[in-house]
């Protein structure tokens, strides 16, 4: 809703004396209202037909450090203590995310305890600099180019909030999943096959449990039953293909115990995890994209060389072989449990897709993978929008019947044509890239399983490059039992 100059000026007058140093002592209210309307990004909150609160900041023509500046946070006296200020600042942060801004900063009076508490709770960090232009104020900054855990959310979940269990917290998607669950107010139990001290993400979970690998089958499932019973977890979010495969077939055993597996339906998982079934599912084609066919590896090659051979239920690029000639084919084939596909040259495009089972709404965020690990996890990507690709993803998601967040993979050839490769019925390793454009993937994934009517629509966002780097964390120090630490290493 647009704000008229007179309305904004009246609002500024009403909140003038709520600041430790009144606005009118620093600026002319009328001129300041005109400046904000002309140059600032305004995030208003209207209640009862009035402008109840406002965040105003500058998000365009930024200085070299690339930080947006929050100039004003104000709420009328009769609307205070309703969480409006927190909501408005969070909305402003989301605006910055969608515009691809690295972070934001602001100043507040040191005596304004309410504001200081608010910014600390939202995850802002205090900036200390001898060159600061306002030494008598507190300077806060927040970097938003990756998911964050807000301390306010941590405090909120320390009570009776629900508990979620996350597996494989050493995987690429774990940080974004844990952070998103915390932002949704959930307590998080993190599980992994490795010891706690070996995992940086173990710092962020509320409880850590070391469990057997999914390949161990019954012992893996039994360990999850026990963890959920002891910790009161009511839902499980598996992060790896092996875990999805094991849990999908024993869903009823968990549901009998009141534990929800936040996975797509069993049939959808079966189709996605079998490359022959997946290919045949879309043999009639998908508007706007080509479908890469798959055939069993037999005595003769059904496609022109080069071709790609991979396990029919392969995971994370495991066992992939490129064959360039008939001689190579004869040395490789026949190979039981393998499929063959035409080799398509181009860039890998992955799309994080969220589908709501009731409303049918599908949100798709595509990215071109520029640098990848050997197992196929993107480390440098370009996030963009493409209406044709988004329509294709909506069709594919509906036909598969997936629920919640999954990941589609395509190859984009030199002519700009997309070739459908596969669907991973789990979070992608690059989930944090989609979180980085401002969409609450985890919150909306939870909504798909909670009986809600719909998920949030995708707001417009600016295309952008993301690049990952590794960070170092101290997870254990030598003031504890060194002997037990060495025992775990051996």
Residue 71 lies in a domain: yes
Q: DSSP string spanning 322-382? A: EE-SHHHHHHH-S-TTEEEEE---SEEEEEEEEE-TTT--EEEEEEEEEEE-TTS-EEEEE
Q: Do residues 330 and 349 both lie within one domain?
A: no
Measured between alpha carbons, how far is 455 from 448 in angstroms, rounded to an integer?
Answer: 7
57 lies in the same domain as 103: yes
Q: Is the pLDDT of residue 213 over 90?
A: yes
In a domain, 486, yes or no: no
Q: Is 95 exposed, middle or buried (0-12, 13-18, 19+ CB in 10 A)?
A: buried
The per-residue pLDDT for range 20-47, each reduced to its tens digit, is 889 999 999 999 999 999 999 999 999 9
**Residue (of 449, 487, 479) closest to 237 by Cα position:** 449
Residue where the block lists tokens 């900063």: 105
Residues 229 and 302 in one domain: no
Torsion, Cα of 97, 99, 101, 107 (10° steps):
-80
Is the pLDDT confidence value at 411 over 70? yes
Q: Is residue 390 located within the same domain as residue 453?
A: yes
Domain membership of residue 391 as a residue range:
270-275+344-467
Sheet holding 163-166, edge to edge: 207-210, 187-192, 163-166, 233-237, 260-261
Contacts of 119 (CB under 8 A, 6+ apart): 89, 106, 108, 140
For residues 350 and 451, state if they share a domain: yes
User: What is the DSSP code string of 72-88?
Assistant: EEEE-GGG-SSSHHHHH
- What is the predicted pLDDT for the residue at 394? 98
Residues 353 and 316 placed together within one structural domain of the fold: no
Does residue 333 or residue 324 have the better pLDDT? Answer: 324
The CATH number assigned to the domain holding 156 equals 3.40.50.20
Tell me which of 117, 143, 169 is where a domain ends. Answer: 143
CATH label of the domain that carries residue 417: 3.30.470.20
Let me know if residue 285 belongs to a domain: no
Would residue 286 count as lying in a domain? no
**Residue range 263-316, pLDDT digits in tens:** 999 999 999 999 999 999 998 999 999 999 999 999 899 999 999 999 999 877
The model's pLDDT over 367-384, given as tens digits with 9 standing for 90+, comes to 999 999 888 889 999 999
Does one domain contain both 29 and 127?
yes
List, in sequence order, the alpha helices (H) in 198-345.
218-231, 241-248, 251-255, 266-273, 275-281, 326-332
* Rg for the chain, CA atoms, rounded: 26
**Pair 136, 162 in one domain:** no
Do 193 and 215 sit in the same domain of this protein?
A: yes
Give yes or no: residues 157 and 112 share one domain.
Answer: no
Question: Can you give the CATH number for the domain in which 40 is found?
Answer: 3.40.630.30
DSSP string, 415-440: TS-EEEEEEESS--TTHHHHHTTT--
pLDDT at 38: 95
Tokens of 166: 């996350």
Say whether both 459 and 401 belong to one domain.
yes
Residue 485 falls within a domain, yes or no?
no
**Of 99, 120, 143, which residue sits at a domain end?**
143
Q: Give the per-residue pLDDT at 473.
A: 79
Q: Quote the pLDDT of residue 158.
A: 41
Residue 287 lies in a domain: no
Query: Do 181 and 165 fall within a single domain?
Result: yes
Q: In this predicted structure, what is the pLDDT of residue 132?
A: 62
Strands 260-261 and 307-311: unpaired
Question: Please, what is the average pLDDT of the chain?
Answer: 91
Tokens of 378: 């993107």
Least confident of 10-24, 124-138, 200-214: 124-138
- Residue 191, domain member (yes or no): yes
Q: Is residue 283 part of a domain?
A: no
Task: Report how far apart, in Å, the C-alpha atoms of 47 and of each of 44, 53, 76, 78, 86 are.
Answer: 10, 9, 10, 11, 15
If one counts the domains in the chain, the total is 4
What pLDDT is stored for residue 440 in this prediction?
Answer: 92
pLDDT in tens, 150-163: 444 443 334 346 99
């Amino acid at each position: 809703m647009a704000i008229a100059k007179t309305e904004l000026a009246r609002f500024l007058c009403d909140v003038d004396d709520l600041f430790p140093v009144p606005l009118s002592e620093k600026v002319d209210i009328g001129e300041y209202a005109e400046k904000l309307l002309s140059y600032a990004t305004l995030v208003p909150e209207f209640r009862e037909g009035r402008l109840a609160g406002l965040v105003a900041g500058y998000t365009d023509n930024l200085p070299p450090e690339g930080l947006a500046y929050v100039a004003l946070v104000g709420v009328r006296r009769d609307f205070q203590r309703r969480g409006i200020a927190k909501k408005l600042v969070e909305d402003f942060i989301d605006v910055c995310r969608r515009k691809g801004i690295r972070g934001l900063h602001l100043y507040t009076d040191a005596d304004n305890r309410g504001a200081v508490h608010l910014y600390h709770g939202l995850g802002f960090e205090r900036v200390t600099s001898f060159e600061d232009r306002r030494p008598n104020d507190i300077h806060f900054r927040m970097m938003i180019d990756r998911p964050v855990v807000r301390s306010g959310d941590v405090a909120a979940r320390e009570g009776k909030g629900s508990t979620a269990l996350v597996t494989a917290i050493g995987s690429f998607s774990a940080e974004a999943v844990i952070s998103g669950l915390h932002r949704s107010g959930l307590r998080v139990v993190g599980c992994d096959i490795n010891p706690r001290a070996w995992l940086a993400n173990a710092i962020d979970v509320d409880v850590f449990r070391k469990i057997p690998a999914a390949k161990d089958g019954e012992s893996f499932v039994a360990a999850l039953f026990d963890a959920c019973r002891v910790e009161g977890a009511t839902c499980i979010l598996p992060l790896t293909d092996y875990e999805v495969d094991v849990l999908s077939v024993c869903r009823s055993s968990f549901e009998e115990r009141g534990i929800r597996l936040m996975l797509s339906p069993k049939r959808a998982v079966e189709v996605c995890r079998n490359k022959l079934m997946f290919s045949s599912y879309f043999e009639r084609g998908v508007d706007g994209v080509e479908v890469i066919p798959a055939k069993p590896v037999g005595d003769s090659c059904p496609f022109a060389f080069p071709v790609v051979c991979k396990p029919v239920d392969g995971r994370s690029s495991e066992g992939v072989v490129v064959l360039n000639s008939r001689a190579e084919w004869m040395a490789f084939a026949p190979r039981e449990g393998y499929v063959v596909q035409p080799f398509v040259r181009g860039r890998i495009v992955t799309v994080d897709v969220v589908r709501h089972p009731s409303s049918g709404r599908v949100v798709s965020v595509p990215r071109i993978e520029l640098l990848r690990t050997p197992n196929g996890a993107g480390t440098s990507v370009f996030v963009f929008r493409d209406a044709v690709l988004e329509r294709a993803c909506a069709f594919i998601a509906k036909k598969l019947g997936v629920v919640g967040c999954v990941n589609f993979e395509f190859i984009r050839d030199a002519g700009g044509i997309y070739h459908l490769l596969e669907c991973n019925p789990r979070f992608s390793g690059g989930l944090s890239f989609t979180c980085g454009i401002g969409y609450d993937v985890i919150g909306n994934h939870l909504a798909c399983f909670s009986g809600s009517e719909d998920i949030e629509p995708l707001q417009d966002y600016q295309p952008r490059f993301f690049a990952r780097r590794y960070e170092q964390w101290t997870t254990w120090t030598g003031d504890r039992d060194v002997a037990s630490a060495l025992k775990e290493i051996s």
